[in-house]
Structure 1
């Protein structure tokens, strides 16, 4: 079972601010839960530019360095350029949500500022898009917005918003999004009811909700059997004491400010008693006193305990008290639509193990490979089938494939620790972020993004699209040019190395044949093929176990397409030399220590990794006999090898003797 440890809570500092500039919008979308009409009263009630600046400055003084700007349509505010300029100049990064219809060439120039810009798309055609928005011409206006962004060289993400009105052309929406930008994402595939609790609007929103099966098709749930790390560890989790929001408030390091200066811990909180008026008090008072006080304010009632609190499907359900309030005006109320999604989630997870998950054993480790798309018989090259196992082992590694790039624009990726095409690697907290970069310096969008835990025991690989994956016959589980990028650091924590070598098991003994390219490793194991089992002719894993060193086969073969997942105790290391004779010549420890490093398969070589590698080489020199294997191509070397793999007493554990 794969486990992900939820990170330790950091001090309660307001790191991120969600800011809705307005709930007015030039569109009037059929699914929207926040829309208000654009009139004098709604404009008058909104925060002024000066009030916004004061909030931003005070939040910044307490640690806020990222803002997520949204609406309504934020660009309906005439002072949007000034607001945007001020907020982004006071932030390390930002995110902006817009429908794109008001992006002029001048605003597009402003949006070149590094950050994440998400532009909504409601249909693949004007007919469908404008039906959703109830704003004739909105599709054409959005397309002009995209064009202006491209013309300015401002990157953006296309955000697809699925619902009943457009789901019949969802695939076309995806294709259109891919043609507009290198990056797209899918918005929440289920819809919230209106914040104003309008019966007519809620009826329309309910009519736009997708069938629960379609929700699962768009937004796959967490992997079965896995505890996923959460951005907000307590979000949506109700403790045994029944305080509905205590865990969420204690875990959050972000906040929400609505257009009218009302502060709370979540953008979905619409109960006015759970919001703090920043026009009447300070941000510090709201963050440090008011929000923490809400942890005890809302307590579960009988409705919750008899419903969601005791439901069998609770672990698979997206229910949260705020959704209960939006749906029924009661925090403990269940959301029937989410009950249906939860039931489908349970079915989905049951089928996941068959269609989306496989296990592979290599080097004494079990790698669980999962994919958001189904894994087919031809997804990976047939050579990898030899390494498939039925399920988890004693030492498990998790790897999952996704098929759209994450939004990293303007985000702090941490400290760059390596940069050499094709990889740039960053370290942030307990994570390592790999970007597959281009030789073209002007191309700043990575082809792949991989996020690994610091020990590489859990990783997520994000592909730009599914083309390569769906073409099949992949040679590596990671889909990288080689799996050594993953295996080498994993082995460093497991007293192991990958050696540029060939390996065989003969008479129960593991033999490691080492030599430079062209030295004859493949030729040697081919001559010895009838004597035992070839593990691989080019890459062999060497690990120090409690009872000594062992070698393991890998799928990274050379000219000999024979591989095996088997392993054996390492009997000897043989440095291949072409000769007119066939014999073994012992090698002294000093020479071994000098010779072996050049045959170690290197990962991104950090100082700690090299310390590990040299320590392993020193152990090998002390514990494993090393010989120069002088041989010709006659096949007479077989008798030399047979004598070597006789019972260990024939050679002894002391100084090796020369054998002819």
Structure 2
């Protein structure tokens, strides 16, 4: 079957169009939360300055004409506005995606019905009881109002996410808040936050916000960093890095595809920007002018001062620190000031990261390819079979493929895995977008509950492997890094792109020369390995990798052994291929006919899910091997004297 590929292109820049917008409908709120940095009273005179429905529609239309397809709606409490339903309906129907942030206390049956529209609804939870919740909101009866809002949403059939917001005064109820969230919705998340200080410079508000901040170690433990995701984003950002390192906000603006509109029609590139010099008045201009001219001009407006560059920007913890000029402005009314709390959080994050690397990551090197194995569960000395010790390395090389193990119950009843391209027990294989999806089923026909689901990127260099159970992993002594029946399922694909393949063979290094003994099971590979065990270095007695690198064809040891457990991670230039034949006598005949050699080698090629592309690459290497490496018929008996003939090759 010919497979049609969907190729993705790696961008070296971000297309500059306003894909994602966020809008605050009001900063008024019926609650008065202790950690809130934006809230103004319900009866504030600022209500008269808020954007009208007509003005919001105009902004949405102008943004949409330039490419905006996603909106985040927030506040304050957006439902305080009597025209909320009209605004929400227009935003939701004029975008592909939307997200709504609300405290949920003003939800009515009518509002709940319109919130059935597919999209993300995030409702904050500040306590598991009315005593704690109302203490945080400083609004008696607010917990009861929230529970009523949840009830209306459920009755209307509207999905929603409960966001648990831990802070000093509710942390003692954290577990209860999580349990309550689970009982309210199948979707919940932890919103552990650094908490910005008052947007208006109110010292009393800021003092209370500081008091509610959690200790750095607690904060990191509650909202554990996803190390793999952060590394991926850092790599992608470095690949498309743009902007000027000498200016605050330059990198934020240059690659941005998002924007923020405040409740009064002032637009900027980020919702945390409260300095009026960084906001464009849409009432006095238009969206295009703000996006194409005003916002880009801010990127080269304010330089990073030398003192700040020599402290924060040169700090060894810079990658772990969440400092940004906007946060610094709110904290100290300066873009170029150090913030002690963030320094402490960065130190805790760095400790967490180093511990995570030690407990959850291992590197293995095979055929000059590093395999990085990450796992949600800790990896200990007994997790993988002893045979992998020969291949374990402390640091990655230049060529790295990445595997990450997750452990979650798998139920694919309503999951679209893509277009099926292969089905042969125990594997069902699909193509979805630019990914390969492998489903391993324990029983033929049991497609909805596989034991594993592996998602590979297009070239198999990144794999996310979802395991249905933790039991096998925790038992230890695993015979493959992927937890598949064999790692060859992955590595045979990876090798094709690197001029390599697996051969069903035994490989040794004899006096610096790589010798390959080829044959299927029972041909005598393990017998030959036994003969040569004391006089050579055994690479493996059953599976050998052949790879052309730097113009030289080499053989590499693998952990896919047969009867002999002693394997080596080393390699050597391939000097001869010998086809095994049991005989009464010991002798070697050189093969001259390349067609005969090809017919002998081809059945010993270890094939994964073989596409046309894989065959083309593998056959090209096979042709190079046949035309370059001397091949022989090796006839041997049980006396072991064949070694003398091999030494003479």
**Cα gap change, 1:524 to 1:254, in 2 (>3 Å):** farther
* Residue 35 of structure 2: aligned partner: 31
Deviation at 1:285, TM superposition (A): 0.9
Question: Is 1:259 aligned to residue 263 of structure 2?
Answer: yes
The answer to whether the 8 A contact 1:317-1:339 is kept is yes
Which deviates the most, 578-587 or 560-569? Answer: 578-587
- Write the deviation string for residues 423-472 of structure 1: whole angstroms up to 9, x where unpaired: 555556xxx586869988889x99867575x6665x47486999569736
Alpha-carbon separation, structure 1, partners of 2:398 and 2:503: 24
Of the three residues 611, 614, 620, the one matched with 1:615 is 620
- In the other structure, the counterpart of 2:144 is 137
SS in 2 for 1:359: strand
**Partners of 2:506 and 2:529 within 8 A in 1:** no
- Is 1:281–2:285 an aligned residue pair? yes
Change (3 A) 1:545 1:244: closer
* Residues 519, 576 of structure 1: 8 Å contact kept: no
Cα distance in 2 for residues equivalent to 1:612 and 1:596:
15
Say which SS state the counterpart of residue 362 (structure 2) adopts: strand
1:136-155 alignment, distance < 5 Å: 136-137=143-144, 140-141=147-148, 144=151, 147=154, 154=159
**SS of the residue aligned with 1:322?**
helix
The Cα offsets for residues 166-202 of structure 1, whole Å up to 9 and x where unpaired, read as 4455566667767877765543542211323333332
Q: Is residue 332 of structure 2 the alignment partner of residue 320 of structure 1?
A: no
Q: Aligned partners of 1:544 and 1:624: how far apart in 2?
A: 12
Matched-pair contact (CA < 8 Å) for 1:212–1:344: yes
Whether the 8 Å CA contact 1:192–1:323 is kept in 2: the answer is: yes
In structure 2, the partner of 1:408 is: none
Query: Displacement of 1:320 after TM fit?
Result: 1.0
Give me the TM-score of the superposition, normalised by structure 2.
0.77
| Alignment partner of 1:191 is 2:195 | yes
Give the alignment of 1:569-588 within 5 angstroms.
Answer: 569-573=573-577, 586=591, 588=593
Change (3 A) 1:456 1:181: farther
SS in 1 for 2:264: coil
- Equivalent pair of 2:12/2:239 in contact (CA under 8 Å): no
TM-score (norm 1): 0.76
| In structure 2, C-alpha distance between the alignment counterparts of 1:111 and 1:558, rounded to whole Å | 61
Cα gap change, 1:395 to 1:61, in 2 (>3 Å): same
Q: Which among 568, 585, 602 is matched to residue 572 of structure 2?
A: 568
* Equivalent residue number for residue 251 of structure 2: 247
Task: Give the Cα–Cα distance (whole angstroms) in 2 for the partners of residues 404 and 187 of structure 1.
Answer: 22
Correspondence for 2:638 among 624, 636, 639? 636
Deviation at 1:283, TM superposition (A): 0.7
The secondary structure found in structure 1 opposite 2:168 is coil
User: 1:239, CA displacement in angstroms?
Assistant: 4.9
Residue number in structure 2 paired with 1:652: none
CA distance in 1, matches of 2:152, 2:606: 49
Which of 333, 337, 353 matches 2:337? 333
TM-superposed CA distance for 1:308, in Å, is 3.6
Matches for 1:325-474 after TM superposition, within 5 Å: 325-348=329-352, 354-370=358-374, 374-393=378-397, 395-397=399-401, 424-426=430-432, 459=462, 461=464, 467=470, 471=474, 473=476, 474=478
Query: How far off is 1:575 after superposition?
Result: 5.5
Q: Find the residue that maps to 2:194 and give its secondary structure.
A: coil
Distance in 1 separating the partners of 2:270 and 2:577 = 62
The answer as to 2:546 corresponding to 1:542 is yes
* Aligned residue in 2 for 1:213: 217
Displacement of 1:302 in angstroms is 7.1
The DSSP-based 3-state class of the residue aligned with 1:617 is: helix
- Structure 2 residue 626 is the aligned partner of structure 1 residue 624: no
Find the aligned partners of 2:272 and 2:468 in 1 and give their Cα distance: 32
8 Å Cα contact 1:418/1:426 also seen in 2: no
C-alpha deviations, 1:249-293, integer Å up to 9, x for none?
Answer: 112122112233221011110112211122332110110111122
In the alignment, is the contact (CA less than 8 A) between 1:232 and 1:252 conserved in 2?
no
**Matching residue of 1:552:** 556
Residue 354 of structure 1: CA displacement? 4.0
- Which stretch of the first structure deviates more once superposed, 590-599 or 59-68? 590-599
Q: Is contact 1:235-1:247 (8 Å) kept?
A: no
CA distance in 1, matches of 2:84, 2:528: 71
For structure 2, the residue ranges without an aligned partner over 5 or more in a row are: 1-9, 410-416
Question: Could you tell which deviates more after superposition, 56-65 or 504-513?
Answer: 504-513
Q: Deviations over 1:609-633 (max 9, x none)?
A: 33212211211222234556778xx
Deviations 1:285-343 (A, max 9, x none): 11011112222333345774575456565454221110111112222222221122234
CA distance in 2, matches of 1:375, 1:71: 44
Residue aligned with 2:57, SS: helix
Q: Select 1:294's aligned residue among 278, 281, 298.
A: 298
Could you tell me which residue of structure 2 aligns to residue 204 of structure 1? 208
**Kindly tell me: are residues 291 and 645 of structure 1, through their superposed partners in 2, closer, same or farther at Cα, counting changes over 3 Å?**
same
Say if 1:189 and 1:219, in contact at 8 Å, map to a contact too. Answer: no
Q: Is the 8 A contact 2:465 2:482 kept in 1?
A: no
Question: Would the aligned equivalents of 1:571 and 1:645 in 2 still touch at CA under 8 Å?
Answer: no
Distance 1:183 1:559 in 2: 50
CA change 1:498–1:508 in 2 (3 A) is same
Mapped to 2, the partners of 1:338 and 1:63 lie a distance apart of 35
Residue equivalent to 1:18 = 22
Aligned match of 1:647: 648
* Structure-2 separation of matches of 1:466 and 1:173: 27
**Structure 1 unaligned regions, length at least 5:** 1-5, 406-412, 649-660
Kindly state the Cα deviation for residue 542 of structure 1 after the two structures are TM-superposed. 1.6
For 1:499 and 1:542, the matched residues in 2 are separated by: 7
Deviations, residues 123-151 of structure 1 (Å, cap 9, x unaligned): 566765565455323664576478569x5
| Change in 2 beyond 3 A, CA 1:95/1:556 | farther
Q: How does 1:477-492 map to 2 (within 5 A)?
A: 477-478=481-482, 482-484=486-488, 486-492=490-496
Partner of 2:5: none
Distance 1:70 1:490 in 2: 46
Change (3 A) 1:545 1:144: same
Following the alignment from structure 1 to structure 2, what is the Cα–Cα distance between the partners of residues 57 and 621?
65
Alignment size in residue pairs? 621
